[in-house]
Amino acid sequence: MFPKFYTIFNYASIVVVVIFLILILTESIPNEAYVTILIVTIIILVARVAFRIYLYSYQKKSKGD
């Protein structure tokens, strides 16, 4: 269950970041929103790393049982 959730979260977060990039490059959003998008992107990156570490420990523990 968790590996499937991680895969969905991983691809969805990549899509969100690409959408943010397109919005910035097309200048569809005001410059003041760039900081907010940067913060959200950093949070997504940290969440992906944390989920990846947790998935690694989850898989390692599952194989040990």
Global confidence as pTM: 0.76
Cβ-contact 46, 54 below 8 angstroms: no
pLDDT at position 65 over 70: no
The rounded mean pLDDT for the chain is 88
Question: For 7-23, what is the mean pLDDT?
Answer: 92
Average pLDDT value for residue range 50-61 = 85
pLDDT of residue 1: 60
pLDDT at 54: 87
Distances, alpha carbon 48 to alpha carbons 18, 39, 53, in Å: 15, 14, 9
Please state the rounded mean pLDDT for residues 49-63.
85
Helices then strands (H, E): number in the chain?
2, 0
